[in-house]
């Protein structure tokens, strides 16, 4: 094992991207972060030479590190790198076709993880930017393996793994949910309920929120004494068909709000059970988090209220307009689209409006994440598997489609809620959907200073904000008045009670938006949210965005990228993706945080282009 050094950081940066060209700019940041010496490029070449000599010394081919235009590439395979083998095994598990085969491959993949990640690598950038993603890969795989063990009835066998996972990763409610289910199904009801109360207390104390819908449904099922798995504890378990499409699916949250029975004694209304819905071709049936007893005539999750969004503030005009539109009774489906920049608060507003109007929808509220964890969009068939069949019931329902990428995802789902309502959140304006189905569009902008202060007060407490009122205003400015940025900054202050708001502002201001990120949750990261939005674009539009980083100021004239039709189209595409605002007949505008991000992207591109001569 290499000692902690610049060569070990270089090797890690290359191995984290096996077989891919790693740009010189990325490698320089991996070695020196943003504190790069004037001789950084020469030192990088020296590190490459040192690694090649070390490889030759231990019988590894010296040319395994290949110099290519723009950077370096390291060619490895499943026999030489555990990360490649891990991902190969996980992909093989997806296509195994049976639960035992999938579980075997997942367990083999998990055995490859030994010790802490990048333990001998001193690179701050790699630990900050890469380790969270790697951790997420492992934990998602462990969750899948535990799901399969539970579905096969092996609750006792999986308890040890779940105890450790739930204690090591208290922020992941899924591990707590699996542990509680395993305890209950092994006859330890009191311990299961005690574990639930402990999780609930921690969430309330640390974050001021309640457990998620799945955990609440689980508690209710335990209190009722439901048979969660329909598996006798002293009998051999019946294998279930484990659902996983070819790629890992995004968690789909479904919250049903159903009134007292008024349909002939059926306590859960007319929604069709998931088992009766067609499964999209090429996938296996999706597993429910719980297997509820088949006593009612129609099987759906028990009724739960839609909780309010914690610390929700602002958006008064939009909120009033949306709730009024949702409450209107009409034979047509009411359609509301919330669009805007990544991190602007579209999802929070949609969920808060769903909470405000849930009493209007006796058929329930259904919230569906429309993208997979890898960013790929759900097909309409995949989304439909979590919705009532068209015409299955007469009750009005509300459907919230979160993070939609195209209008074609939405159109086939509208018949599922005739006479109800649909809220769509998307970074795009979805003008094509408006042209064919009508509705209203709310393009969200940043919060105003008063709203930002309200959010910080709700998150941090009135005393802490009042103690440093000027610093709180500066913090909102540094965060660009983006709700996501403000929540990330508030979380940092909450977890560091001794940190003053002024010191937090000073630290963030040195490198926004890069420092607006939480290490333990890749989703709470402004650079990653911006990066995912940029990655969805075609390469030519991504390059156009980076070129805006070379421009001065926040106003983007129509000729900023040239006078060609393609340059004009590029600005329109970026505006549609939420990366620019307004546009013809007036100039476009780019938000300051997005401008800083574009400038950094441009700097990395220019650095890569400058290093085109192999060394």
Q: For residues 361 and 398, what is the distance between their CA atoms, to the nearest angstrom?
A: 6
Q: Given this model, what pLDDT does residue 2 score?
A: 67
SS3 of 443, please?
A: strand
Per the rule left: phi > 0, alpha: psi between -120 and 50, beta: everything else, 236 is: beta
Strands, sheet with 398-402, edge to edge from the N-terminal-most edge strand: 365-369, 398-402, 421-426, 334-340, 440-444
Q: Return the H-helix or E-strand segment holding 367.
A: strand 365-369
Cα angle vertex 214, ends 213, 219, to 5°? 95
Structure confidence at residue 1 (pLDDT): 55
Give 42-79 as a DSSP string.
HHHHHHHHHHHHHHHHTT--GGGEEEETTEEEE---TT
For 100-136, give one letter per residue: b (16+ CB within 10 A) or e.
Answer: eebbbbbbebbeebeeeebeebebebbbbbbbbebbe
**Contact yes or no for 585/2 (Cβ under 8 A):** no
Burial 195-223 (b: 16+ CB within 10 A, else e): bbeebbeebeeeeeeebbbbbbbbbbbbe
pLDDT on residue 188: 87
The answer to whether residues 38 and 29 touch, using CB atoms and an 8 Å cutoff, is no
**Mapping DSSP to helix (H, G, I), strand (E, B) and coil, where does residue 22 land?**
strand
* Contact in structure between 362 and 467 (CB atoms under 8 Å): no
What is the DSSP annotation of 110-169?
Answer: HTT--SSTTTT---HHHHHHTHHHHHHHHHHHHHHHHHHHHHTT-HHHHHHHHHHHHHH-
DSSP bridge partners of 337: 424, 441
**277: how many CB neighbours lie within 10 A of its CB?**
17
SS3 state at 312: coil
- pLDDT of amino acid 610: 53
Q: Determine the pLDDT at residue 609.
A: 56
Which residues contact residue 109 at a Cβ distance below 8 angstroms, ignoring those fewer than 6 apart? 85, 86, 89, 90, 93, 141
- Which residues are bridge partners to 415 per DSSP? none
- Residue 70 phi/psi, 5-degree rounding, is 95, -10
Q: Which residues of 287-318 are buried (b: 16+ CB within 10 A; e: fewer)?
A: bbbbbbeeeeebbbbbbbebbebebbbbbeeb
* Among 421, 438, 452, 426, CA closest to 323: 421
Q: How far is CA 510 from the centre of its chain?
A: 26
**Closest by Cα among 484, 495, 489 to 473:** 489
Between CA 488 and CA 465 the distance in angstroms is 16
Q: Note if the bond before 585 is cis, omega within 30 degrees.
A: yes
Report the SS3 class of residue 244: coil
- Helix, strand, coil distribution of the chain in percent, nearest 5: 50, 10, 45
Residue 98 CA to its chain's centroid (Å): 28
pLDDT at site 256: 38
Confidence at residue 488, expressed as pLDDT on a 0 to 100 scale: 92
pTM above 0.85, yes or no: no
Series of mean pLDDT values for 10-residue runs along the chain (615 residues):
80 90 91 87 90 82 81 82 89 84 90 84 89 90 92 88 89 91 89 90 85 88 74 32 32 36 29 33 36 30 64 90 88 88 92 91 86 79 73 73 91 85 91 87 92 92 92 94 92 88 92 83 82 87 88 83 87 89 79 90 69 48
> Which residues lie closer than 8 Å to 263 by C-beta, 6 or more apart?
269, 270
How are strands ordered across the β-sheet holding 588-589? 555-556, 588-589, 581-582
- Provide the H-helix boundaries in 290-437: 316-327, 346-357, 380-384, 407-410, 431-437
pLDDT at 389: 63
β-sheet bridge partners, residue 71: 23, 68
């Amino acid at each position: 094992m290499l000692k902690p050094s610049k060569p070990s950081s270089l090797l890690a940066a290359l191995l984290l991207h096996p077989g891919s060209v790693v740009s010189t700019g990325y490698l320089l940041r991996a070695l020196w972060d943003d504190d790069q010496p004037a001789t950084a490029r020469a030192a990088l070449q020296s590190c490459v030479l040192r690694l090649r000599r070390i490889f030759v010394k231990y019988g590894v081919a010296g040319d395994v590190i290949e110099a290519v235009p723009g950077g370096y590439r390291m060619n490895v395979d499943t026999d030489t790198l555990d990360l490649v083998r891990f991902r190969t095994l996980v992909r093989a598990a997806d296509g195994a076709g049976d639960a035992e085969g999938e579980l075997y491959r997942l367990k083999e993949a998990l055995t490859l993880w030994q010790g802490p990640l990048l333990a001998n690598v001193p690179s701050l950038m790699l630990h900050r930017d890469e380790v969270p993603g790697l951790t997420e890969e492992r934990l998602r795989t462990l969750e899948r393996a535990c799901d399969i063990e539970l579905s096969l009835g092996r609750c006792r066998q999986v308890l040890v793994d779940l105890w450790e996972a739930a204690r090591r990763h208290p922020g992941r409610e899924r591990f707590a949910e699996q542990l509680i289910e395993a305890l209950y199904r092994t006859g330890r009801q009191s311990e299961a309920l005690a574990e639930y109360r402990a999780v609930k207390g921690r969430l309330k104390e640390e974050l001021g929120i309640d457990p998620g819908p799945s955990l609440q449904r689980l508690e209710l099922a335990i209190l009722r004494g439901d048979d969660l798995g329909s598996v006798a504890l002293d009998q051999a378990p019946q294998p279930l068909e484990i659902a996983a499409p070819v790629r890992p699916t995004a968690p789909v949250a479904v919250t049903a709000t159903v009134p007292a029975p008024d349909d002939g004694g059926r306590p859960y209304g007319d929604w069709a059970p998931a088992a009766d819905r067609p499964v999209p071709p090429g996938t296996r049936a999706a597993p429910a988090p719980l297997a509820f007893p088949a006593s009612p005539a129609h099987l759906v999750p028990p009724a739960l209220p839609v909780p309010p969004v914690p610390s929700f503030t602002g958006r008064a005009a939009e909120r009033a307009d949306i709730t009024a539109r949702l409450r209107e009774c009409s034979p047509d489906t009411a359609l509301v689209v919330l669009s805007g920049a990544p991190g602007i608060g579209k999802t929070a507003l949609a969920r808060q409006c769903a909470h405000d109007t849930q009493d209007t929808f006796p058929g329930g509220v259904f919230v569906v994440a429309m993208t997979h964890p890898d960013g790929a969009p759900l097909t309409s068939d995949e989304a439909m598997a979590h919705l009532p069949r068209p015409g299955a019931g007469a009750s009005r329902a509300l459907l919230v489609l979160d993070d939609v990428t195209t209008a074609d995802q939405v159109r086939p789902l509208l018949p599922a809620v005739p006479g109800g309502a649909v809220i769509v959140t998307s970074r795009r304006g979805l003008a094509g959907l408006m042209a064919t189905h009508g509705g209203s569009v709310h393009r969200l902008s940043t919060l105003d200073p008063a709203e930002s202060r309200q959010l910080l007060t709700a998150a941090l407490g009135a005393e802490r904000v009042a103690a440093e009122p000027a610093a709180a205003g500066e913090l909102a400015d540094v965060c660009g008045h983006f709700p996501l940025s403000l929540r990330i900054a508030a979380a940092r202050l909450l977890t560091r009670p001794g940190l003053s708001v002024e010191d937090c502002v000073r630290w963030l201001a040195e490198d926004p938006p890069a420092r607006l990120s939480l290490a333990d949750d890749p989703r709470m990261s402004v650079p990653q949210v911006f990066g995912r939005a940029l990655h969805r674009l075609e390469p030519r539009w991504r390059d156009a965005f980076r070129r805006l980083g070379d421009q001065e100021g926040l106003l983007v004239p129509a000729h900023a990228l040239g006078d060609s039709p393609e340059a004009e189209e590029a600005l329109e595409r970026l505006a549609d993706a939420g990366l620019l605002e307004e546009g013809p007949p007036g100039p476009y505008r780019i938000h300051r945080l997005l401008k800083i991000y574009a400038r950094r992207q441009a700097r990395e591109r220019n650095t890569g282009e400058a290093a085109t001569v192999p060394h």
